[in-house]
Structure 1
Amino acid sequence: GDYTVRNFVGVIEDISVKSSVVETELFPRGALEFYTKKNMGWSYSQAEYDQWFMPERGGEQGDYRDGMQEKIANVIACLREEPRSKRAVIPIPFSSEGSKTVDWTNQGQTKCCRELHMYLEDGQLKCTGILRMQNASIFPKNIHFFATLLDHVGQELKVPVGEYTHWITNLCHDRSAISC
């Protein structure tokens, strides 16, 4: 339904890939792995796409792959060069035009995840995710992707992954919410 919780913040202390596999009816393991590959910008087969892709699993709003490999490389370079940087961010805007032409009716322009802020603290890679919208039913997909992304960056930097903070402006149960 349309019940919405505003400005929800949660901290996940163990965001390891192993701990971030939450299988549901909507997201069995194969679907989680497919969407993570897709959002990381990694290759996947047409057979995987045919088996796992469904608009109910996020559609254009949950497609974060555009330029993802370049954004990841930028974060790694940033934290290698300046470990105290506050500029290690992965922005996830819509990809086709500038933000001054945003159209609220176009779901591809209103991505759910807006930015991932990464930083090194206490010898660990930590992250804060800023989300415009989080459907609870799609949370398993996002967390699996974020965990995989953090694991990848942590391995490249040769540091363990620490906590992840999930900041959500609008938290709803599922995609039936009005204008989610």
Structure 2
Amino acid sequence: MTMKASFKGKFDVDKSGGTASLAFNAGNVKLRATMTDAALVAGPSLNGLSLAVEKPGFFIIDYNVPKKDVRFQFMNTIRIAEKPLNLTYIHMRGENRTIVDGSLVVDPANKLSANYTVGTKNCKLKYTYVHGGMATFEPCYDLSKNMWDFAVSRKLYGGDNLKATYQTSSKLLGLEWSRNSKTTGSFKNICWCRAS
């Protein structure tokens, strides 16, 4: 058994927060303990502590210690006409909520996906088309709202990415400019405006 330890920190304009994770690889299963700064702010406590067991690509079981809540996630891939259909089943015991997610990869440029919350009308269908590996078009239909959302993104030279979204239900137009580079750094700028 090998041991890996990692520390992650994040900064928000309003607040800062840190996360520490200790992971153990036991064969093809990973055991992980994660603690946020909430566990240390007012002295050592179980706040912000979660434990997980994961077999990558098959299942993840998360246990939130202070809430005594369990989240189950199971993943599988089946083939339909030689095309991979990726299925994910998520159940949150505390919220008594179950989500089923699926995506069918038709070819490298085309993908169909669906997300459904069991027992509700909350279902979203999305089509993703990648043009020339540089531009992505994503129309999404929300069955519960009977509305469309649209997203268009474009990779720019230098590792930047520009994305525009439009939510028809709220008439919000969003623009996101991001970069994820080891040499020039990473950032994400998002602005929203309401269409008249």
- What is the TM-score normalised by the length of structure 2? 0.28
Structure number, greater radius of gyration: 2
**Which protein has the bigger helix share?**
1
Higher relative contact order, structure no. (Cα contacts within 8 Å, ≥ 6 residues apart): 1
Greater strand proportion:
2
